[in-house]
Structure formats: C-alpha cells, structure tokens
Structure 1
Amino acid sequence: KDLHFPVSIPHVSSPPSTEFPADWSIKTRLLFTSSQPFTWAEHLKAQEEAQGFAQHCRGTSVNFPQSIQEPKLSVELRCAFQQSLIYWLHPSLPWLQLFPRIGADRKIAGKARLWSHDEALQQVLMSEWSVSFTSLYNLLKAKLCPYFYVCTYQFTVLFRAAGLAGTDVITAVVSPTTRGLREAMRNEGIEFSLPLNAPHHNLSVFPRHQGVSDDESFSWLEEMGVQDKIKKPDAVSIKLRKEKHEVQMDHKPESVALVKGTNTFTLLNFLINCKSLVAAAGPQAGLPPTLLSPVAFRGATMQTLKARSINVKAQVHSCYNDIFSLEIMGPIMPHCLHALTMLLKSAQRGAFSAVLYTHEPTAVFNTNTERILNKETVCKDLMKCGLHLKTLDQLIQSPTLGKSAIRLLEMRDYAYTWKS
C-alpha cells in the first residue's frame, strides 16, 4: 500500500566522508529510502535464506563491487542481506518481546508468566542465564565475540572486547546507574569511573581510598591567613553535598559507569549474584535480563530482524515522486547497521537516506573511553570475531558521538553525511 508523507530533508551536520562513525546505541528501527527500488530485499528463496544462515555461522565476509548492475538478480546480495539480519538472543520466550526491557512493563503485562510464582523455575531460568552470560564473556575474552549487551529492566551493560572503541582492554559500560547500584559495585571492589562526570573528579574514580582530605584543602587558606574569615564546611555538610550530587545524576546519561580490564570479570560475577538484577514484582518479575550478541553463544537462539520494503509517494516541491523504502525492525546492533549500509551502497548505487530510531537509554554508549592502542596488533587478534573486516575497522575507532546517537544517515555519490 502506498504511503503519503511530505519529505523534509533535515540539515546535516557532518562533512561528507567515506565512512560514518561507529554508533554503539541499539536501534529499534531503521527506515532506508532511495530512488532505486528495494525489490532485491523481497521474497528470499529458501535456498538464499539457508545460504545466508550458513554464511553467518561461518563468519563469511562477502565483498561487493561498487555498484551491482541488476540487484534483483544477485543471489549473493540476497544471501548477504539475510546474513546481515541475524542476531543471537537469550532467554528465548517466543510469546514475549525481550527487547527493549527498560520501560517495557506494559508490553509484557498480561502475557502468561509461568515462572512468576514458581521459585524452582526461576532458579532454573537464572542458572541457565548465568551459563549463557559466562559463555559470552569467555568468547569476548578470547576475541571470538566482539561485544554483547546485557539488558535488565532498569539498566543496560555493553561489554566490548579489547581492541574495540579505541581501548586495548575489555570494557563494560553500565547505564543508567543509581547511587544504590554504584555503592553495591564499590562494595564488591569493582573499580569504575564516571566519564561524563569529569568536573566532579572527586566522585569519579572508585573505590574511594585516594584523594585530598578536606583538611588539606583548607591548609592554603591558613597560609593566606584568612582561615577565620571563611566558615569551614563540616564533614557532615561535605558528605551531604556529595550525596546530593550523587542522587541528582541517578537515571541520567551522566550516571554512565565505565569498567575496564579485569574489573569486568568482577562485574560479571557481581551481576550473576545481584538480587536486584531481576524484578521482584510487576510484569518482568523473575525474568532474567536479555543477552544480545552478534555471534552464537551457549544457550542462545538465532533470531532475524524483520525487514519489509514499502513503496512511498513523497511530496517534493508540490509534486509526488516515487520513493522506495526498506524498513528493518528489532534490536539492531552496531555491526548490523554497518553491514546493511555496505550492502545498500552497492545495491542502491551509492545513494540512499536512513532515519535511525534509537533505544534512548543506550545512546550514552557512544561516550569516549579514552585509551589509545596499537591498532595493527589488535585488529589482527580480532579477525576471528565474526564481523566483516570493514565493519571491524569502523568499530575499532574511538567513539566520537558523545552522549548522542546518529538520527539521520545520508549517502550521496558514495559519501556519507549524518546528523546526530
């Protein structure tokens, strides 16, 4: 069915480039539009679907010429398209939508939850989940999985292999956090920083053993001989001020916590044993967090993103033109966005636009982690992680988008511009 909507081209804020920056947020929907049809993405044959699954499982990288003359007739293109839509999920409960989890109570409510009153069943679900989570971490450590997400009903964690996002150690980014969660992590001995909280550096590196004492910070007033003129804040008011600041950033992007190196393993154990990881009441009660990964792991099920092409009549300067569009729905991870753009570049002759819908709580994963690395050795180690080498090259770069995510991506004459 034709859809009618006016197309306004937003102002694009980046200079044209052959590549767009890595976007570590999870997208819920992509809408690609082009003046060339997307018929090549429709009605895949059983053989093409099977080939796409096999290519994914074997980590086959397919490279295409700059332009495919007859995309509709290209079996390779259709197989690669199927390959790019695959992701891995745990737990798999087909009657429940397991992503997103934050703010999903209404979607999950009313669905029969066999485990909500069954303690034994909850324990089985959690022990299976722990096995899957540990399996993913081991794959990540061995650089056989590039990254994965742990989506709880309150926060999301992105684990990245050493070598990705400009860092030479494993990193885990947790967002949003609350004072309670940060306290619990500190008590477990997990060292973390709050990268978006730099002005308050006294709050930024944990555990809190080091730092200038409040007495020392007043010694310079004594040297100037003005200590009597200034009311020295007592320990209680200093503590209250810190606590107020801590609580003010709860649930906000600024509360993002960054965990590095061996601390990520401590974080894994903390999450496995953390009682508040699973809702105690409400529609998500007893449901383990969702694990999302680009590659297979123990206990995972293979899922595919939903794709459909739509013919749109778009109004450009008072006349209607045919605009073809391709919609992708589901948890769209960073590698998937990149893989799709590589296919579209060849199939749509270097010209298309995309509107990207972000799962907002994950936009902050684009915060820079500030570690420089020796790119050559790292890239070589990551070559078996299941990603296309060009995609891997994008994800190795240090994040540049800050707290924002790409909203609009446009390709003209094989060059990208984007707006975040």
Structure 2
Amino acid sequence: MVPVGLGPGKMDNHPSNSSAFGSEFEMSGRRTTSEFEMSGPRIPFDFTLKTSVRYTNCSNVRCHRSFATPPIDASCNLYSLSSIDGATAQVKFYKSLHSWVYPQSSLPASVVSVLASSAGKEEAHFWLKRQQDWEDSLRSLYYMLRKNICNMFYVYTVQFVALFIGGNLLGKKKRSCIAYVSQSTRGLRSLLRKNKINFTMPLGGVEVEHSIDDDLVELMEIEKRKLGQIFHLSSSMENVDNTSRSLLSFSGHEEVQSLYDILINYRKTLHSFTGSDVPVLFAPVPFQNATLHVPEMTCKETRKADMIFTSSSGSNTSDAIMIPPGFGGLCFSVELKDTIIPPWVVYGVWSAMSAGGTSFQSLLRTDPLSLGLNVALKSVCSEVQDGGASGLPAAIMNPSLSGAALQQLKFSDGVYTANITPIL
C-alpha cells in the first residue's frame, strides 16, 4: 500500500549540508547530487520506477548469503503471513520481491501486428480476449482504489507512465484520489481539453496554444507515426513534450475518473498506441487476471576493494558504490533487474536487509519514462510524514524529493543516508 500517513517523521540534515533538504536543487536545473541523513529506521519513499537495484553488504556476509535461495517453507507460507514484522529476515526479503502484474509479459510490435491483422479465428480470439482481460484488470484496480483496497497502482505504456494514488491525502479525513501522467505531448493535452478534463503541469510546463479540432486530428496522426514527436511547435513548448516537464497532474475523483476513462478506452482515444501491446499494470495487491511477478535476482560474493563498480566496463565512477573503512574482507551483493521494479519492492527489500542492524549500500537506476512522478509527494503530504497508516511504518514521505529521484541509499549504525539527483 502507498505510505500515506499522518505522523511527522524525524529528519536530520547531513553535517556537510546545512541548507534545508531540497532547497539547493529543487527546480534549479542543475543536476547536482544532494545528500541527507535520516536517524532511526526511516526509509525514503520514491514513486519513480526502477530498472535495477544493487545492494552491497560487507559487514555480515554469512547473514545475507541465505538470500541467494528461498526459504524452504516460503512457497507454502509466504503469502499467508498477515504481517512481515514477525517473520525472519529471509522471509521478509522474499515477500518484498513480489508484485502483481497484467499481462505477465508484453508482446513485441511484430507479433501484435500479426495478431491484429490476422484473419484466423484463433489469433483474432486471442487478441480480443487479451484486450478484454486488460480492460477488466484496469477496471478491477480502479474500483479497488476507490474502495480503499488498493492505495496505488501504475499503468505502464509505450509513451508514459500513469500513477494512480488513493488515500487520506494531505492528512484529510475524507478519502480522495490523485493521478499523474509522467510525460505528455501537445496532442494528448489537446485531447484532454477537448474532453473537458482539467489538469495541471506542476513541473514547469506552460501551454500557450490551444488546438482546435482540426489541429487535434493532425497532431494525433503525427504522434501515431512518430510516437509523440511533434513538429512546428511554439518555441515555449518545443523542449517540453515527452520530457518530465510535461508531466500532468489530475486531482479529485472527477478528474481521475476522466483519466481512467481515457485509458480504459485507449484503443479509441489514443491512436498513437496503435500497433502496441496492451499497457502493463502493476500493483502491490492481487487484482483480476493478475499474476505474481518477481524480478530477476543475481547474488555474488566478492573480495573487498576500495570501490565496487556496477558497470561492466568499470569506468563510470558515478556507478560506483564506495566501501567505507572497517568492513570485512568479503562483500555480498544482491542485484535486482527487470523491465520495471515498482517502489514497494525497493522499499520492502531495504526494510528486510536493514532488519537486525545489518549495514548495506544500494545503487538504483530509474526508468526514464517515470521521471517526475515524485511530484506526487507534494499531494500525498504537506510536510515530512511517515507511512504508519498504510502498513509501511518506516517509510518517509518528503515533498522536498518531488523534484528529484533517489540514486543511492546507505544504511549503517541505524542511519539511512540518501543521495538524490534533481530531474530537471
């Protein structure tokens, strides 16, 4: 569940950074890295999607070597646990890896083209059923969101990521909904206006021109051919489309419902999606037609060095995890890779690995399509809050992270140290 809580979280500024967290980089346009510390078991929550997360532990190799194989009883008892608090670190770790997705795997464009144009009865039936199952899945997720059964889910498309969030936002007693589209084009915004759907562009995008109906048709045809590339744009918008600056925000049940209507009818409304497979749905809880999904995991044991490089060439120092003095001679690393790794997986693994005070470092790679989604933090909370109300008691929700993404996270002596990079 999304960590929407009410209680204030405690945050300490890093000794080397006396300015308030976020003030030196937020919306500044400088891609400098900022660092801050959190005392106690406080884990920062990042709404962006990851493609890889690497965890390195050099303080207790024997403890985390067990993560290389699932616990013997995990297959039987993993999902029946009502809470992971009383479970072993090993079971916590494997429980945290799971997400629910539909479809289980995406079809390449060449296969979609064959299925969509096939005159064969079986092929046509398969393709129509896949589309219908997807619509049923999205409908299931959306009504679970409205009924407080699921507090967050993602719709991953070929052009953008849509994030839906529900809860007592900004500490209000009445449940509400918000949604975001990670990046947009002029054609999509014109379509929303044509359907009288209100939205804002909170990351600095400014729309100058409103397209008439004839322009809308032309724009959608261009996007259909070029996946969103627009020509002859006004100078103020030419560098906005298909970037995080063009992120769209939808607030309130009515506007979120309207975005949902656009997405569930995407075959009729979003013509630029023609030739693509159905978007992928991600949620932390089961929904209709969903399957359980676990990212690919690689475990390695290495000798201690001054630094461990995550790139194959070892030449990019920005990809290096520094090993501080005092660690033992062996290091154990766990690397998760997938097309998409959602935030509840990242949070869950951090929580499991820090159990018992074990030190580790982690390096994250963010999916570029999801950059900007941390702007949701400003709607979820108005100040630093924890996520105790939603079952993630150690999660920190800080609106200052709204203009950045987590790059590294370290845990040592009970303290988390986060490195964040601005997105603009």
- 1:274 counterpart residue number: 266
Deviates more, 1:147-156 or 1:110-119: 110-119
Deviation at 1:185, TM superposition (A): 1.1
- 1:220 counterpart residue number: none
Deviates more, 1:43-52 or 1:289-298: 43-52
- 1:87 counterpart residue number: 99
Aligned residues of 1:175 and 1:364 also touching (Cα < 8 A): yes
1:49-89, Cα deviation, whole Å (9 max, x unpaired) = 3211333xxxx22226xxxxxxxxxx732222221111011
Q: Report the residue type matching 1:138 in the other structure.
A: Y
Greater Rg over alpha carbons, structure: 1
Deviates more, 1:408-417 or 1:328-337: 328-337
1:93-138, Cα deviation, whole Å (9 max, x unpaired) = 4xx4x7xxxxxxxxx4666876242455433322221111011011
Q: Report the residue type matching 1:14 in the other structure.
A: F
Aligned residues of 1:356 and 1:407 also touching (Cα < 8 A): yes
**Alpha carbons of 1:170 and 1:279: their partners in 2 closer, same or farther (altered >3 Å)?**
same
**Alpha carbons of 1:82 and 1:27: their partners in 2 closer, same or farther (altered >3 Å)?**
same
Q: Distance in 2 between matches of 1:362 and 1:15?
A: 25
Matched residue of 2:159: which SS?
coil
- 1:265 counterpart residue number: 257
Q: Distance in 1 between matches of 2:127 and 2:341?
A: 28
Aligned residues of 1:310 and 1:326 also touching (Cα < 8 A): yes
1:53 to 53, 76, 79: 79
Alignment of 1:110-121 (within 5 A): 115-118=115-118, 121=126
Deviation at 1:172, TM superposition (A): 0.7
Structure 2 residue runs of 5 or longer lacking an equivalent are 1-31, 119-123, 213-231, 308-322
Aligned residues of 2:97 and 2:348 also touching (Cα < 8 A): no
1:171-196, Cα deviation, whole Å (9 max, x unpaired) = 11102100000111111121100001
2:187 to 180, 183, 186: 180
Aligned residues of 2:90 and 2:352 also touching (Cα < 8 A): no
Structure 1 residue runs of 5 or longer lacking an equivalent are 1-9, 65-74, 99-107, 209-240
Q: Distance in 1 between matches of 2:204 and 2:112?
A: 42
1:354 to 359, 362, 384: 362
Q: Report the residue type matching 1:17 in the other structure.
A: S
Q: Report the residue type matching 1:266 in the other structure.
A: S
- 1:68 counterpart residue number: none
**Alpha carbons of 1:153 and 1:373: their partners in 2 closer, same or farther (altered >3 Å)?**
closer
- 1:6 counterpart residue number: none
**Alpha carbons of 1:294 and 1:165: their partners in 2 closer, same or farther (altered >3 Å)?**
farther
Alignment of 1:142-221 (within 5 A): 142-163=147-168, 169-197=176-204, 200=206
- 1:24 counterpart residue number: 47
Aligned residues of 1:271 and 1:277 also touching (Cα < 8 A): no
**Alpha carbons of 1:26 and 1:374: their partners in 2 closer, same or farther (altered >3 Å)?**
closer
1:294-320, Cα deviation, whole Å (9 max, x unpaired) = 111111111122323211224229999
Aligned residues of 1:16 and 1:416 also touching (Cα < 8 A): yes
Q: Distance in 1 between matches of 2:182 and 2:38?
A: 31
- 1:39 counterpart residue number: 65
Q: Distance in 1 between matches of 2:156 and 2:180?
A: 12
Aligned residues of 1:166 and 1:369 also touching (Cα < 8 A): no
TM-score normalized with structure 1 length: 0.70
- 2:246 counterpart residue number: 255
Matched, 1:390 2:381: no
Identity of aligned residues (%): 22
- 2:137 counterpart residue number: 132
Aligned residues of 2:56 and 2:360 also touching (Cα < 8 A): yes
- 2:14 counterpart residue number: none
Matched, 1:300 2:285: no
- 2:336 counterpart residue number: 328
Q: Distance in 1 between matches of 2:272 and 2:289?
A: 19
Aligned residues of 1:87 and 1:293 also touching (Cα < 8 A): yes
Deviation at 1:207, TM superposition (A): 12
Q: Report the residue type matching 1:280 in the other structure.
A: T
- 1:400 counterpart residue number: 400
Matched, 1:63 2:85: yes
Matched, 1:316 2:306: yes
Matched, 1:78 2:90: yes
Q: Distance in 2 between matches of 1:373 and 1:355?
A: 26
Aligned length: 336
Aligned residues of 2:115 and 2:127 also touching (Cα < 8 A): yes
TM-score normalized with structure 2 length: 0.70
**Alpha carbons of 1:174 and 1:313: their partners in 2 closer, same or farther (altered >3 Å)?**
same
Q: Distance in 1 between matches of 2:282 and 2:89?
A: 25
Q: Distance in 2 between matches of 1:258 and 1:315?
A: 45
Q: Which is richer in strand?
A: 2
2:371 to 338, 363, 368: 363
Aligned residues of 2:167 and 2:176 also touching (Cα < 8 A): yes
Q: Report the residue type matching 1:196 in the other structure.
A: L
**Alpha carbons of 1:372 and 1:24: their partners in 2 closer, same or farther (altered >3 Å)?**
closer
Aligned residues of 2:47 and 2:376 also touching (Cα < 8 A): no
Deviation at 1:255, TM superposition (A): 0.2
Q: Distance in 2 between matches of 1:390 and 1:324?
A: 27
Aligned residues of 2:299 and 2:334 also touching (Cα < 8 A): yes
Deviation at 1:253, TM superposition (A): 0.8
**RMSD of aligned residue pairs (Cα, Å):** 3.5
Matched residue of 1:78: which SS?
helix
